[in-house]
């Protein structure tokens, strides 16, 4: 079987895709605390399904290199990143004022290894962007990412670091226009805010609106300044089903792709929009949710797939496993193979679950009005805005090396803005990870993105800116550490084939 992906039989999806998949075996060990709905364990459950369905052998599987302080500070404030690096459960009582300032403590608790967790999930998303920028894959996946609520200098909605913004900034080094699409039930407020005043990033969010966290995402929120009409918000009500959802999603995203013509797409696949989610109120099936992935895949544009919300964790794992198959062009069998988390999926032990009979409060008339309003806004855009690159930052390069490589000084491109920090101090935590001291800011500001890139001096937040092959359950291939290669930056300055050896 070709390790670069599987080709579909015909139609717009009948193009071979090479898929890179980022996974850190430690990610499932992080724990928000007793009773907290966010459970990183769901990422480990997803990985186990991918292994036992035999999907890992179709992808390049990579362990993300942890994001450094300076990487995070490309968007986040220096003092906020420093706070995240230093805070621990043992020291938080001494920093009550800082906890309040940075909105950490309740929805976003302090837990062991917090900063390492942020480094891990952000590293996967940025690493995916690097792979796409080098043309080394068609689709990159990081199910640990997609934490879309985090702001420049505060945590929000279980999110501490906004890996999506960081990934988009990386993509903007190579692409003049990047499209962000969010199918989480919650509005993608942190990403929208970051790019609200630029025409180089279009954000499109489909979400529950009205007395629901985070309370933003009105249809009339359309962007500001150069970014006017480059923010699209699709406000939805309880109980929306597959048919109603795609009555909006397909015509809107089809028009967006026609008008905006992005060089890359970032799709946040929050699974709390599924039927039966612990915190959600939508009624999408897994196939209905995945149809959004299939639709965006069909445009043959470099695609970064990220996770997000999702709090009925057995359904999150089901969904992201199935959507990985969609990315690969592989139809996975409904009957679930036995594996270490098999008991989570009883009594049916199937990949798909039927939606509920809850009321759909989204009337046909309401949906048509929303669709017409948004298509009208899109008609006001000039086709494919052209923004020239000025002071373009150097490309980040990330060759794979063995996990046991210990020469930290050779991990990063010395000309990149992602150099290693000189001073490193360990985090006092039960989860062993490497931490780094805050470093100086990037020296460049890309034209048209000043409000996004010039971050870190203060915390004022403003608006600156089918025919598929079929796979059944098989013996797991390459589980956990054995399946994962370290994704690291290096000093190799050769061409793409030299920088990223093929496997």
| Residues tagged active-site | 149
Q: Rounded to whole angstroms, how far apart are CA atoms 326 and 421?
A: 39
Q: Rounded to whole angstroms, how far apart are CA atoms 302 and 503?
A: 20
- Nearest partner of 264 among 465, 125, 129, judged by Cα: 129
- Nearest partner of 152 among 202, 221, 102, 224, judged by Cα: 102
CB half-sphere exposure, 413, CA atoms < 13 A = 16
Q: Which two tokens stand for residue 495?
A: 């061409």
Beta carbons within 8 Å of 97's beta carbon, 6+ residues apart = none
Rounded to 5°, angle at Cα 421 from 416 and 424: 160
Q: What is the DSSP string of 435-476?
A: -----PPPS---TT-HHHHS-SS-----------EEE-----
- Nearest partner of 120 among 68, 188, 165, judged by Cα: 68
Burial string for 374-396 (b: 16+ CB within 10 Å, else e) reads beebbeebeeebebeeeeebebb
Around Cβ 116, how many Cβ atoms within 10 Å? 23
Rounded to 5°, angle at Cα 374 from 373 and 379: 100
Instruction: Dihedral sign for Cα 447, 452, 456, 458, please.
Output: positive
Please give the DSSP secondary-structure letter assigned to residue 218. Answer: -
Decide: 351 and 55 in contact? Cβ < 8 Å: no
Element (H, E) at 314: helix 313-328
Give 189's strand partners: none
Q: Rounded to whole angstroms, how far apart are CA atoms 133 and 121?
A: 19
Beta carbons within 8 Å of 347's beta carbon, 6+ residues apart = none
CA 66 to mean position of chain CA atoms: 15
Around Cβ 357, how many Cβ atoms within 10 Å? 9
Sheet containing 178-182: order of strands: 231-236, 201-208, 178-182, 264-268, 303-306, 139-142, 19-22, 60-63, 485-487, 400-401
Q: What is the DSSP string of 380-449?
A: TSPSS------SPPPPP---EE-TT---GGGSS-TTSTTPPPS------SSS--------PPPS---TT-
């Amino acid at each position: 079987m070709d390790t670069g992906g599987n080709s579909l039989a015909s139609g717009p999806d009948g193009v071979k895709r090479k898929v890179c998949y980022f996974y850190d075996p430690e990610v499932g060990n992080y724990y928000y605390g007793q009773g907290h709905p966010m459970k990183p364990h769901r990422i480990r459950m997803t990985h186990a399904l991918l292994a036992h369905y035999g999907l890992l052998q179709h992808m390049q599987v990579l362990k993300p290199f942890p994001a450094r302080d300076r990487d995070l500070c490309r968007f986040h404030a220096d003092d906020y990143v420093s706070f995240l690096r230093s805070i621990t459960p043992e020291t938080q009582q001494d920093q009550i004022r800082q906890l309040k300032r940075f909105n950490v403590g309740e929805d976003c608790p302090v837990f062991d290894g917090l900063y390492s967790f942020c480094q891990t999930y952000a590293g996967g998303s940025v690493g995916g962007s690097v792979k796409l920028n080098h043309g080394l894959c068609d689709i990159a996946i990081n199910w640990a990412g997609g934490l879309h609520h985090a702001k420049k200098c505060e945590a929000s909605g279980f999110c501490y670091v906004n890996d999506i913004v960081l990934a988009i900034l990386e993509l903007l080094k190579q692409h003049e226009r990047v499209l962000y699409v969010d199918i989480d039930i919650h509005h993608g407020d942190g990403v929208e805010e970051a790019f609200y005043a630029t025409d180089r990033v279009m954000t499109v969010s489909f979400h529950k609106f009205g007395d629901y966290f985070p309370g933003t995402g009105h249809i009339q929120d359309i962007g500001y300044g150069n970014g006017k009409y480059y923010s699209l918000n699709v406000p939805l009500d309880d109980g929306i089903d597959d048919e109603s959802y795609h009555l909006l999603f397909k015509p809107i995203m089809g028009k967006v792709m026609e008008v905006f013509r992005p060089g890359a797409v970032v799709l946040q696949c929050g699974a709390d929009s599924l039927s039966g989610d612990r915190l959600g109120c939508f009624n999408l099936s897994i196939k209905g949710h995945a149809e959004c992935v299939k639709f965006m895949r069909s445009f043959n544009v470099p695609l970064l797939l990220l996770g997000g919300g999702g709090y009925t964790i057995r359904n999150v794992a089901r969904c992201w496993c199935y959507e990985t198959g969609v990315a690969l062009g592989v139809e996975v069998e409904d009957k679930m193979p036995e594996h270490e988390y098999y008991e989570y999926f009883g009594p049916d032990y199937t990949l798909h679950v039927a939606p509920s009979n809850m009321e759909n409060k989204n009337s046909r008339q309401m949906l048509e009005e929303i669709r017409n309003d948004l298509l009208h806004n899109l008609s006001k855009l000039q086709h494919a805005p052209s923004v020239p690159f000025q002071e373009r930052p150097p490309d980040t390069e990330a060759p794979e090396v063995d996990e046991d490589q210990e020469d930290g000084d050779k991990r990063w491109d010395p000309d990149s803005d992602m150099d290693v920090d000189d001073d490193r101090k360990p985090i006092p935590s039960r989860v062993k990870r490497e931490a780094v001291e805050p470093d100086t800011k990037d020296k460049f500001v890309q034209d048209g993105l000043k409000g996004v890139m010039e971050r870190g001096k203060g915390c004022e937040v403003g608006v600156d800116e089918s025919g598929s092959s079929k796979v059944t359950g098989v013996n797991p291939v390459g589980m956990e550490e054995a399946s994962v290669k370290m994704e690291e930056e290096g000093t190799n300055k050769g061409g793409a084939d030299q920088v990223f050896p093929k496997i």
